Structures are given as C-alpha cells and as structure tokens.
Amino acid sequence: MGAPRTHEVARGTLPAMSTSQPTLAVLVDELTRALGKSSVLARPEELIAYEYDATIERARPDIVVFPASTDDVATVLRLARKHGVPVVPRGSGTGLAGGAVPVQGGVLCVLTRMNRILEIDVRNRTATIEPGVINLQLQEAVATHGLTYAPDPSSQRVCTIGGNVATNAGGPHTLVHGSTVNHVLGMRVVLPDGRATFLGSRVPDAPGLDLRGLFVGSEGTLGIATEIVVRLVPRAEAVRTLLAIFASIEDASNAVTRVIASGVIPVALEMLDREIIRAVQHSRDVGYPEDAGAVLLVEVEGLRETVEQQSAQVIEALRAAGALDLRIASEAAERERLWEGRKSAIGAIGALAPNFYLLDGVVPRTRLPEVMRGVEELSARYGFRCGNVFHAGDGNLHPNVMFDSMEPGATERVLALGAEILRLCIEAGGAITGEHGVGLEKRSYMEWMFGADDLEAMSRIRLAFDEAGLFNPCKVLPSGHGCASAHSAELTHHLATPGVYV
C-alpha cells in the first residue's frame, strides 16, 4: 500500500547548531542598516535579559531585534534566512513552555515595540491591533465602549496578544467564550521566508483553507502575526460571583459536574485546594477558611433575568454537592474581593517553597474527582507538597509541585512526578496541555498522545510553512536532528519562577 513512510520530522529540524561569528557580524550589520541602531542588540551583556521566558530554560540569542512594522519583520526574516540563521519570535516572555527560548541561538525577534491599537470598531465589534499590545490594555481600551476582549489569561497584565495568538491562550473566562482562536478573525502574518500574507478576514468564515485557525496556537512556529483583527463581545449587563467552600477537593470536583448538569454554563468555574487556600491566607487575609478542603469560584453573567435564574440553579447545585458555606457578590468591589484569593494564588505559593513546578493538563471534567485523587496520591508517593489552583469548569488542571532544587535529585523527581501526572491525564481521556503549550517542555510527551502518522502530518504542516527548518526550531514536535543537545538541556530544568501566572 504505497511507499515506505518517510519521517520528514528530521528534515524540518536540521539547522546548524550554531552560526559562525563572521556570518553573525554581517547579519548584525545588515539588520542595523535596515532597522536602525536602536532596534538591534548584539552585545553579550545586552542579550542576557532575553535568554529565558517564564520557565527557567535558558539559551542566549546571538542577536535581538525590535521590529516596528510588518516590513521590518519581513526584512528580519529575509535577512536571517539568507544567512541560514534561526529566528525565534517573542512577546513579553511570560510563556510557560519555553516557546520563546532560542535553543539554537540566532535572532530573537521581540515584538513588544509593535504595540499600537490600530482601530477599535465599535459598530462591528472588532479591534485591530499590533502583536505587542498587552492583553489588559486591550481590555481597558475597549471597556469604555461597553465591550470586552474575552480571553483573559492570568498573565494579562503583562502578556501580549501576539503571544496569546501563538499559544491559543485561555483564561478563567474561556469556559463560555472559548480560547483565543475563537476570537481572532484575521491576521497579517509574515511567513518564515519573509513573505507577508493575510489569513482569515474581518468577519468569520472566510473561504479557503482555514490557515487562521491553524496559525493560532502554532506556538510561534509558522510565522509572525504583525496585525491581528479580534472579535469583541459586549460586556454583560449583570455579573454574579459565588464562592463555595467544600470539605474536600473531591466534593468540590463533584460540584463542578453538578453545576454543569444543572444546565448552566458559568462564565468561570475555578478551584483552589487546601494547600493554595492556606498559602493565600498566609500571605493576605482574603477571607477563606483555612480548614476548608477546597473552594470553588463560580461566575455567571448575562441579562439580569438570566443571572437571577442561573445563580439560583448554581446555588442549588453547590448545596446539593455539599457546600459548607456560600458567599455571593454582585457589586464589582465585592466580586473583586472574592477573586482576590484566586488572583494572588501563584504569588502566594511562591513563598512556600524555593521552587515550584507548574503543570498544565486537561481531563474530561467528569473525571476530575478521580484524577485529582491520583494527583494527590502521586505527589505523596514522590514526597512533594502539591497545590492545585485551576480552571475546573473545563477540566484544565494546574498542579503546582513545591520543592527545593538545591536538594540533590529533587529536580529529577519533580520532573518524573510531572510526567506521571500528565500520563494520568491522558489515561483519563485528556491532553498534556490545555493552555500553556507544548513548546520545548512537552515535546517528548507528544508521542503519548499522538501516533507516528499524526506526528508525521504535523511535521508536514511545519515543513509547508518553513522548509528550511530555521524558524523557532526544536519546539512542539518531538525528535529532530540538531535538537539533541537542546533536548538534554530540556530535561534538566523546567521550574517555574515566582513570576508565573496560571
């Protein structure tokens, strides 16, 4: 039945491991002439700040550039390609999978200077923005028009929309509204060979292949978005936030299923376990009972009538699931207080241990109770404390494993624990990443979810966009020559720093 299969994964990731100094010098010179002196960094002391993202994976770029326009980006890609030098795109560097770490050096293309909101079209409920716009800035800019941009990753004060596009970012409010891909209508992109094109349109369902849908979530491996048209949604007339206290994480997990079974899909359904509650209370009193096993934050929104009826249904479901206590807030300030514990959770946990390892798995939400029990048992077996704060409504877990990397062997054991937890997610019918991405971190786990034919198809996508294999190499897909040394580095450290968001 046809020719033997060719595994072209390798061909796609064959670039030289490092670029020669004379080549780099020529490239720096050409980039400086094209973009201007203030847009190109190449001195080692200037490059240090760009060698990592929110993982502590490190690799120093040879050159950092700050393009200001689509033409600049195209120039950067064309020049780098001409000299056979890898290019890695980067936004604010808040990624949690090492996607912006230049593991083979080369040019790091930092998009933060392209930070203009080009248009807010209230009548058509769209905004056109450059990739360096910060998520929260966009939300604030459209709020005055009664609109909002729905995806709200917890890093939204810092992260860029370009980065959100790359990772198909989620957030607490994507339960109803969907992830970034559901909100991007079209994009101007520069492909790895320097050609600019437009994917999608200003309205949904453009004819032709949905290259827009393929590009969003491709983790910066298919090109660079330089202008993004996003969909805005009207702000709700009424919002109500409920905080429910449970004796155990299992009760709270069952409550998640009960709430959804009541026919209500809340806009957010977030869970914090005992470890997190204590950490939060320890750093600041947000009114969580320290003896609680778990708290659920539930938010419903819509017209007043909808909110009335749905919050009644949610309350009934929470009580039936054994909620020990319920707090309800409708005013913005009160709601903000209920959210405070959730929003400060990661910062608080940072104080508990020298290091923590943040995981990102997904399971069908009905499997949450057993999977959470499994996470607890595995952590105990490995001898680590583990706190859970996560998007329970979409079954997207975020175990935070606390440890001390100075303790001999601890890092290796933490990574082994992380791998076992992700295996548990897959066995429950889930996936290895719900919103952070595969990046560098989880490439070697891809084979757990996908067969050789699936990965072959994905590597062909990559080749179709980047035949030279020089664009953000060694990310997303497993294996590949020239990535071997990066791969061993990859296994040593993926420890989140206190600056991470979930």
Partner 1 sequence: MPARGTLVTATSDLEGVLAALPRARHRETSAYPIEGRFPSVALRPESPDGVARVLAAARDARAAVVPQGARTALTLGRPVSRYDVALDTTGLHRIVEYEPADMTVTVEAGVTLHALQARLAEEGQYLSVDPPPGDEVTIGGLLATARAGAWRGLLPGVRDLVLGITVATPEGTLVSSGGRVVKNVTGYDLHRLHTGALGSLGVIVSASFKVAPLPEATAMLALRCPDIQLAERAAFELRDRRLPLRALSLLDASTATTVGVETRAPATTVLAAFEGVPAVVARAERESRDVARRMRAAIEAVPPFTWSALRRRAALAGSEEQTVLVRLGVPPSRVASTLAAVGSGRLEAWAHVAAGCVYVRGASLTAATLLALQADAHAAGGFLQVEHAPAELRDIGDAGDLELTRTLKATFDPEGVLNPGRWGDDA
- Binders in 171-210 for partner 1, by CB under 8 A: 174, 178-179, 181-182, 186, 191, 195, 197-199, 201-210
Cα separation, 45 vs 61, in Å, equals 11
Among 460, 484, 485, 492, binds partner 1 (CB under 8 A): 460
Burial class (CB in 10 A: 0-12, 13-18, 19+), 337: middle
Structure tokens at 156: 């939204």
Among 462, 479, 483, 495, binds partner 1 (CB under 8 A): 462
Q: At closest approach, how far in Å is the CB of 437 from partner 1?
A: 6
Q: At closest approach, how far in Å is the CB of 145 from partner 1?
A: 11
Per-residue string for binding with partner 1, 234-273, x by CB under 8 A? x-xx-------------------x--xx-xxx--------
Beta carbons within 10 angstroms of residue 375's beta carbon: 24
Q: At closest approach, how far in Å is the CB of 181 from partner 1?
A: 7
**Residue list 342-381, contact with partner 1 (CB under 8 A):** 362-366
Cα separation, 172 vs 185, in Å, equals 21
Cα separation, 401 vs 407, in Å, equals 14
Residue spans of alpha helices (H) in 321-383 = 332-343, 345-350, 368-382
Element (H, E) at 25: helix 21-35
When the beta carbons of 186 and 350 are compared against partner 1, the nearer one is 186
**Residue list 428-457, contact with partner 1 (CB under 8 A):** 429-438, 442, 446, 449-451, 453-457
Q: In the chain, helix, strand, coil percent, each to 5?
A: 40, 20, 40
When the beta carbons of 203 and 380 are compared against partner 1, the nearer one is 203
Per-residue string for binding with partner 1, 310-329, x by CB under 8 A? x-------------------
Beta carbons within 10 angstroms of residue 404's beta carbon: 11
When the beta carbons of 208 and 409 are compared against partner 1, the nearer one is 208
**Residue list 125-144, contact with partner 1 (CB under 8 A):** 125-126
When the beta carbons of 160 and 168 are compared against partner 1, the nearer one is 168
Q: At closest approach, how far in Å is the CB of 157 from partner 1?
A: 21
Burial class (CB in 10 A: 0-12, 13-18, 19+), 499: middle
Residue 400: which of 435, 355, 443, 439 has the closest Cα? 355
Size of the site for partner 1 (CB under 8 A): 92
Q: Please report whether residue 489 would count as binding partner 1 according to CB under 8 A.
A: no
| The three-state (H, E, C) secondary structure of 38-103, written as one string | HHEECCHHHHHHHCECCCCCECCCCEEECCCCHHHHHHHHHHHHHCCCCEEEECCCCCCCCCCCCC
When the beta carbons of 457 and 491 are compared against partner 1, the nearer one is 457
Cα separation, 440 vs 447, in Å, equals 14
When the beta carbons of 104 and 254 are compared against partner 1, the nearer one is 254
When the beta carbons of 212 and 274 are compared against partner 1, the nearer one is 212
- Grouping H, G, I as helix, E, B as strand and the rest as coil, residue 359 is coil
Binding region for partner 1 (CB under 8 A) out of 45-53, 155-163, 302-310, 344-352: 302-310
Strands 325-329 and 117-121, bridge-based pairing: unpaired
Whether the Cβ atoms of residue 370 and residue 362 lie closer than 8 Å to each other:
no
**Residue list 49-108, contact with partner 1 (CB under 8 A):** none
**Residue list 385-414, contact with partner 1 (CB under 8 A):** 391, 394-396
When the beta carbons of 241 and 254 are compared against partner 1, the nearer one is 254
Q: At closest approach, how far in Å is the CB of 395 from partner 1?
A: 6
Structure tokens at 271: 């869970």
**Residue list 9-48, contact with partner 1 (CB under 8 A):** none
Structure tokens at 401: 């494993």
Q: At closest approach, how far in Å is the CB of 210 from partner 1?
A: 5
Q: Which single residue is written with the structure tokens 């061993």?
A: 488
